[in-house]
Amino acid sequence: MTESMVERVFVAKVESIPLVAEFVTEQAEQAGLTAKRLMQLALVIEEAVINICNYAYEVPPGEVTVRIHTDAGRFVMEFEDGGVPFDPLTVAEPDIKLSLEEREAGGLGIFLIRRMTDEVHYRRVNGRNILSVAINTP
């Protein structure tokens, strides 16, 4: 696989999720991700974008930039927004052993992103949140 980088800006609205998924999936297929990884990727996209849509902007909608990097052995997605500072990796993992009635609402999105990817990183650069996730490719 040759190294490449593409990006696209979307309106940070739930209705944009299918557009983001189509953009990322096209790149992932070109990178050779397996069918199983493509299904996991769909969940990661949905969870990351929903969190940005629902929580990033005090006055929605904002924008989300989706950046894809591919290189030998890795498929990396970055979700960038100009919303309020928030490092999702500081959120404690939910206790999934508790019953639904005992658990607090929410918190599963980041948990699922961590489980469905090989790496997850967060950084804040120039007033922007950047969530980076990597999937190892065959």
pLDDT digits (tens, 9 = 90+) for 59-105: 989 999 999 999 888 999 999 999 999 998 887 776 666 565 655 65
Query: So what's the pLDDT on residue 21?
Result: 97
Class of the CATH-defined domain 4-136: alpha beta
Domain locations in the chain?
A: 4-136
| pLDDT, average across residues 99-113 | 69
Cβ proximity of 133 and 76 under 8 Å = yes
Mean pLDDT of the chain: 90
Residues 6+ apart with CB under 8 A from 73: 1, 136, 137
